Structure 1
Amino acid sequence: MACGRRHSLAVLNGGRVVATGANTAGECDVQDWSEVVAVAAGNVHLARNTGRSHSLALRADGTVLATGWDGDGQCRVGAWSEVVALAAGWRRSVAVRADGRALAVGRAVEGACDVTDWREVVAVSAGDWHTVGVRADGTVLAAGVDRSGSCAVQGWRGVVDVAAGYLHTVGLRADGTLVATGRSEQGQCAVGGWRDVVAVVAGSHHTVALTSDGRALAAGADDHGQCDVEAWTDVVVVSAGAAHTLGVRADGTVVSAGDAAHGRRDVSGWHCATT
């Protein structure tokens, strides 16, 4: 499952994809996609909000599909192969190949696509201005704008996953604790006390985590109720957009919180794949 600024995506049982929300540039035109195992939704930078975004899908054969706005070439992923993970940011698409190399296409001005020399990468995340990746040895790499210290990850160790927001970065350690850096004026980095975390995602200004017992935790901006996830139970997947949050329960049903404009939370009929 994936949340963008104005749209949401999910993989259904059987590998089909559904989308809801704004379809300004065709970012929700996913009805023909099949054999998909993961999706990613691009963001729309808040200060330069064109209302246009893009969507990505990873197929079981390691190829990648894209639709939506391609103003910076962020949808030019047709030649990618042997991909095992992918992420979508503002005007940017990033992937990890089976051999541990990183790929990126899209807006290169700020350096967030400067990942082609990364090796032994196991996970990536794309924020508005920066890209972060986890290496097999638990160290973390970052590229792009380091405003507010969003790329200050050089000392992190024992990390197994990362999440990049607008100007903050969160890392999940193997022991279930979190480390965070970057802008936190709305509390999006106030995650040091969380325990037993198994997954973490970042919205523009909020952070959401999943615990081993199926609970969701959230910190940061809550102006649209995007952090109202404390009542969620039996959750196995979480995703965070600019101002909304989605979760998939073990039975495949979807819960949501936050901004419902443009239909981005119209997910009541979805039954998602959970493995």
Structure 2
Amino acid sequence: MCYILLDTDSGISVASSSPPWLLAHLGPVLAVAAGFAHTCAVRADGQLVCFGRSEYNQCDVPASLGPVLAVAVGEHHTCALRTDGQLVCFGRNGFNQCDVPASLGPVLAVAAGFAHTCAVRTDGQLVCFGDNFTCNQCDVPASLGPVLAVADGYFHTCAVRTDGQLVCFGNNACNQCDTPASLGPVLAVAAGDHHTCAVQTDGQLVCFGDNDYNQCDVPADLGPVLAVATGRAHTCAVRADGQLVCFGRSECNQCDVPADLGPVMAVAAGYAHTCAGRADGQLVCFGNNEWNQCDCT
């Protein structure tokens, strides 16, 4: 299990022997995203901070970026939504997943998959770009209409329409795009490598797709949830009381929620690590730390 303490002033990470090692020097965070082996957090002042594996410069935040509202992290790329609504992406660009269309305009939300990126424009139109050769995960259905939210999996995309209907497209080898007929309207969606989870309007969590590691087996006693995040093969949900619950593959302890974590407001799930934004704004990460994506030793 790993927690992180990041000194953003010196650029030096510091480990502590007394968990939890909170991100005391990072300061309160508003949002967090986790990828294959890197993590990005939006500080309260809007500054984006990224750490972990950066062989494609996916952690090299552009000096000219300015304050941001949201961040999405793919396998090896990062996309940030600036306060003016402009989308900026950096990192691996082998499939043009960082080439933001010049005509995109301001956006409200962004998601990043293995090598594709999707953005929700201010008019609700969904635009996707990047790898589309594998499974057509960038082929937005013509009949989709305006959407409120989007999530990108490894090779699939899911969007929540303004009427709450969930629509998924792309790779469906594990039925991760087969939205259950009984699902009903949803408020939020998360897409893992080969599974999808949606929060219904009543707060109930529904997951479908690959379940080899029980990542779709929602605990019977979970109750209503406020947020959900999906990694390669694990799922984490924030309950209505703020408690974080994770289930699925946990070979790196990415599902072992610290007993003293306390209530959280946000969660992100990477390939094999998990990061939670506590109610006090502090960030705690645990799981695989091979590339310092949890920034502990």
- Fold shared per TM-score above 0.5: yes
Q: Determine what percentage of the aligned residue pairs are the same residue.
A: 38
Partner of 1:99: 123
Aligned with residue 198 of structure 2, among 150, 160, 171? 171
- Listed one character per residue, the Cα deviations across residues 149-208 of structure 1 (whole Å, up to 9, x for unaligned) are 110016231211111111111110111111111110101001162212000110010001
Match of 1:113 among 133, 138, 163: 138
The number of aligned residues is 259
1:132 Cα offset (Å):
0.5
- Partner residue of 2:210? 183
**Are 2:84 and 1:69 aligned?**
no
In structure 2, the residue matched to 1:197 is 225
Please, which runs of 5 or more residues in structure 1 have no aligned partner?
Answer: 44-52, 268-275
Partner of 1:249: 278
Letter in 1 for 2:121: R
Residue 8 of structure 1 corresponds to 39
Structure 1 counterpart of 2:138, which letter? C
CA distance in 1, matches of 2:83, 2:293: 26
Residue 262 of structure 1: SS of its match in structure 2?
coil
How do residues 140-179 of structure 1 correspond to structure 2 at under 5 angstroms? 140-153=166-179, 155=181, 156-179=183-206
CA contact (8 A) 1:178 1:192 kept: no
Q: Indicate the RMSD between aligned Cα atoms, in angstroms.
A: 1.5
Larger RCO (alpha carbons 8 Å, 6+ apart):
2
2-structure distance, mates of 1:78, 1:65: 10
TM-score relative to the length of structure 1: 0.91
Residue 81 (structure 1) aligned to one of 95, 102, 105: 105
The amino acid of 1:63's aligned partner reads Q
Mapped partners of 2:254, 2:105: distance in 1: 35
| TM-score, normalising length: structure 2 | 0.84
Deviation >2 Å, runs of 4+:
none
Tell whether the 8 Å contact from 2:87 to 2:106 is kept in structure 1 after alignment. no
What is the match of residue 131 of structure 1?
A: 157
Q: CA shift at 1:119, angstroms?
A: 1.5
**Residue 220 (str. 1) matches residue 243 (str. 2):** no
Letter in structure 1 aligned against 2:162:
A
Letter in 1 for 2:49: V
Match of 1:49 in 2: none
Report the 3-state secondary structure (helix = DSSP H, G, I; strand = E; otherwise coil) of the residue aligned with 1:246: strand
2:106 alignment partner AA: E
Q: Give the conservation status (yes or no) of the 8 Å contact 1:66–1:75.
A: yes
Q: Structure 2: which 5+ residue stretches go unaligned?
A: 1-31
Match for 1:30 among 21, 42, 61?
61
Task: Please list the CA deviations of residues 5-29 of structure 1 after superposition, one character each: whole Å capped at 9, or x if unmatched.
Answer: 0100000121111011011011001
Alpha-carbon distance between aligned partners in 2 of 1:133 and 1:78, rounded to the nearest angstrom: 19
Separation in 1 of the partners of 2:162 and 2:180? 15
For the pair shown, which has the larger CA radius of gyration, 1 or 2? 2
Deviation of 1:234 (Å): 2.0
Q: Hey, what's the Cα distance between the residues in 2 that align with 1:184 and 1:27?
A: 30
Q: Quick one: distance in 1 between partners of 2:278 and 2:137?
A: 33
Contact 1:64 1:78 in 2 (8 A): no
